[in-house]
Chain A
Amino acid sequence: MRNLYDFIVKNIHVFLFILLTIVGLFFIYNSSSYRQWAINSMTKEMIGPFLKLRSTYIEYIHLKEINAKLLNENRKLLHKAYNQDFSVSTEFTYKDTSRKPIFDYVTASVIENTIHLQNNYIILDRGRKDSIFPDMGVISNLGIVGIVKDVSPNYCIVLSVLHKEFSLSAKLLKNNVAGILLWDGMNHAIAQLKNITTVENIVEGDTVVVQHSLIFPTNYPIGTVANINQQVKGGYYVLDIQLFEKMDRINKVWIIKNNYADELTKLKKMGEDE
């Protein structure tokens, strides 16, 4: 303490000089906007690298937030991209405020995911509190993921595409030929598309998308044809479909809510009863 005091007294002129210089610079800074600008740009240049370092650090910390923002934005874009079925023609579109969009999208994070079982499940961090119900579709930005099976207040279990019970009507994008998407339990990257007649001209690499469905948006991507099995039994192909979504790496997904599902199922029942 004594030494510090001595040091300060001995070098008081240095401290005084520094202090007065700072005061002087402060006055210069306040004198005109040009000087403010000049000092600002000079200091920016000097401390620029540090600022950059700081911003990268902050960016890293806020990655979670940024991610959430992006997800939200993607959700809006999805809305735009897959909710246009009702518009008859671009010339006659009108704003129908009474009609809800067909699909609502809820972002969710994967909590648990299996791929090595025969019947694989995914658990998401959304539940009844987020108005999630069974039979809602789950997609990622690349392709379909599964269908909600059970819901608890805060979580839901999703029947993965890699589940023996999972089936979905899918079609080839180029010629609208429809089949049933199933999984044979072998490879987690490949699902099967069955019931496609051998009459159709199919090439490896053809895109497979969702057919009209209550659960998934029409034409939502699934995968590409990886292999055409030639064992022709009763005139049907079994196609191997390379899934767009890598099921071992899913992290952020959307749960899709069809606002007209109830109405459509009722209508179907009415038709069947008659």
Chain B
Amino acid sequence: MSKYGYVLSFILLLLFQIIIVNSVSLWGIITPMVYILFILILPFQTPRWLVVLLGFLMGFSVDMFTGVLGLHAIASGLIAFLRMPIINVIPSKVTFEEHLRPILWDMHFKWYFQYVLYLTLIHHIVYYFLEAMSFDNFLLVLGIALLNVAFTVLLLMLFQVIFFKASKRY
């Protein structure tokens, strides 16, 4: 995927998030946040500062359409920052090669599932507690966050299956 490919996926994911996902709200509490896929699919070689900046920008863009400025921005900025440490933590059988990208078909399912799950967990928990702004209803907020995590992870994995294919060796 070229530079323009990433720009395009940025715009498409943003539109998908704000037009479709945000208007579908299951039982009034579940709104999966698929836009974080953009942070997940950035190549391993992307400079870390750029990942942080793009993550923040993505979150901020979503914020602009959903009300409170800064909530998504902080949460997605955080996972953009933590992406590399988490990649390093997850045990991998695959030796990282130049052409591999962090997508499902390039990696093992187990590895990729963990990758998606951890980052989504962090993102959602941070987001929902920032939104609640207190630990008063700790279990309720945590429950909502975890429910959303399940749906987001499901959607992200589906996206991977549908829209991506394994990278070719150059």
Residue positions of A touching B, CB distance < 8 A: 12-14, 16-17, 20-21, 23-28, 30-32, 34-35, 38-39, 42
B32 contacts across to A, CB distance below 8 A? none
Task: Give how many A-B residue pairs fall within 8 Å (CB-CB).
Answer: 65
The 7 A-B residue pairs with the shortest CB-CB distance in the complex, in nearest-first order: A27-B70, A13-B48, A38-B133, A27-B69, A24-B74, A24-B70, A28-B70
**30 A-B pairs in the complex with CB atoms less than 8 angstroms apart:** A12-B48, A13-B48, A14-B81, A16-B49, A16-B52, A16-B53, A17-B78, A17-B81, A20-B52, A20-B53, A20-B77, A21-B74, A21-B78, A23-B70, A23-B73, A24-B56, A24-B59, A24-B70, A24-B71, A24-B74, A27-B63, A27-B70, A28-B68, A28-B71, A28-B74, A30-B69, A31-B69, A32-B68, A38-B134, A39-B133
**Measured CA separation A39–B130 after assembly (Å):** 10
Q: Which residue of A lies closest to B75 (CB)?
A: A24
How many angstroms between the C-alpha atoms of A27 and B71 in the bound complex?
A: 9
Which residues of chain B are within 8 angstroms of A30 by Cβ–Cβ distance? Answer: 69
A17 neighbours in B (Cβ, 8 Å): 52, 77-78, 80-81
B166 to chain A, nearest CB (A): 29
Query: Which residues of B, 57-71, contact A by the 8 Å Cβ criterion?
Result: 59-60, 63, 67-71
- Given A27-B70, A31-B68, 18 more A-B residue pairs with CB atoms under 8 Å apart are A13-B51, A13-B52, A17-B78, A20-B52, A20-B56, A20-B73, A20-B74, A23-B70, A24-B70, A26-B70, A27-B69, A27-B73, A28-B70, A28-B71, A28-B74, A34-B133, A38-B134, A42-B133
Given the complex of chains A and B, what is the CA–CA distance between A14 and B48 in angstroms?
Answer: 9
A31 to B78, CA, bound (A): 20
Asked whether B81 lies within 8 Å of A28 as measured between CB atoms, the reply is: no
Interface of B is mostly: helix
Residues of B within 8 A of A (CB): 47-49, 51-53, 56, 59-60, 63, 67-71, 73-74, 77-78, 80-81, 130, 133-134
**A12, A17, A28: which has the most chain B beta carbons within 10 Å?**
A17
A32 to chain B, nearest CB (A): 7
Q: CA A184 – CA B49 in complex, angstroms?
A: 88
CA distance A113 to B47 in the complex (A): 77
Alpha-carbon separation in the docked complex, A35 to B73 (Å): 16
